[in-house]
Amino acid sequence: MTIYQISPSELTFSWDGCKRCFYLKVKHGIGYKGTFPGMFSKMGNLTSNFYQGKLASEISPELPAGIVKFREKWVKSAPISFPETDSQCVLKGRFDAIMAFEDGSYGIIDYKTSDASEEKAAFYSRQLSAYAYALENPAPGALSISPITRLGLFIITPERFERLPDGELAFVTRTTWMNIPREEATFLGLLREVVTLLDRPTPPPAAEECGLCNYRKDYSEAGILE
């Protein structure tokens, strides 16, 4: 039986782009390996370090009492199967942070440097749902945390640049907490669709606007790529 390994970020950034690229990357390991801009990684690390061990109320006063307990740990789910598919999938990725609440439940935080919008909440819901599912249904030996009762984006939006009293320069930012509803049935329905596509014997058609597929096509027609 084939078991596809899927990262939470692929469900967010790749699935809605070009299904052919998604298929080739997950099933055959063929794809462009881009790099995440170093500055955003550094900002994410600074944010994660600052909030580690802080009260959940510093993330948002709407959250239950608790603390930011874990940061940047890998998760991997047990194999997920569906009656309609021949194969299975596992989810593997690394979350930003997890809050431990006093009532014994947990919440997942995803730090983002961006503008806050409802569209972003919907866009990143798959990624957070994947982390939650993997933590509650872990592979043997993988990190297990349960129950996950909160998912959310902690969005950092730069608003101005100014000189501090000590002479240093700094960006002044606004922060927004966005709750992400957890809809596990919808998420599992998406995974069923993903595995069904990956079980195809041949890749699906390329998206018309996919730059990578158009690049491959142009160079293949020119006899440069086979």
Flag the least confident range among 66-70, 102-106, 111-115, 154-158: 111-115
- Structural domain count of the chain: 1
Q: How far apart are the C-alpha atoms of 36 and 154, rounded to whole Å? A: 19
Q: pLDDT band at 224, cuts 50/70/90?
A: very low
**14 in a domain, yes or no?**
yes
CATH number of the domain where residue 77 is located: 3.90.320
Examine residue 226 and state whether it is found in any structural domain, yes or no.
no
Question: How much is the pLDDT for 172?
Answer: 87
Q: Is residue 29 part of a domain?
A: yes
As a whole number, the mean pLDDT across the chain is 88
In a domain, 142, yes or no: yes
pLDDT (mean) for 149-176:
91
Q: Residue 106, SS3? A: strand
Whether residue 110 lies inside any domain: the answer is yes
Residue 91's φ and ψ, nearest 5 degrees, are -105, 130
Give the pLDDT score at 56. Answer: 97
Residue 190 lies in a domain: yes
- Tell me the pLDDT tens digit for each residue of 15-53: 888 889 999 999 998 876 655 556 777 887 889 999 999
Q: Can you tell me the distance from the alpha carbon of 138 to that of 79, in angstroms, rounded to the nearest whole number?
A: 9
Its pTM surpasses 0.95: no
pLDDT tens per residue, range 85-112: 889 999 999 999 999 999 999 999 999 8
Better-predicted residue by pLDDT, 123 or 215? 123
Confidence of residue 209 (pLDDT cuts 50, 70, 90): confident
CB neighbour list of residue 3: distance below 8 Å, 6 or more residues apart: 79, 87, 88, 89, 90
The fraction of the chain above a pLDDT of 90, given in percent, is 60
The whole domain housing 38 covers 3-221
Flag whether 35 is in a domain: yes
Q: Which residue has the higher pLDDT, 207 or 136?
A: 136
For 151, the enclosing helix (H) or strand (E) is: strand 148-163
Q: How confident is the model at residue 171 (pLDDT cuts 50, 70, 90)?
A: confident
Q: Helices 184-198 and 19-28 meet at what angle, rounded to 10?
A: 80
Task: Report how far residue 175's alpha carbon sits from residue 19's, in angstroms, rounded to the nearest whole number.
Answer: 34
Residue 148 lies in a domain: yes
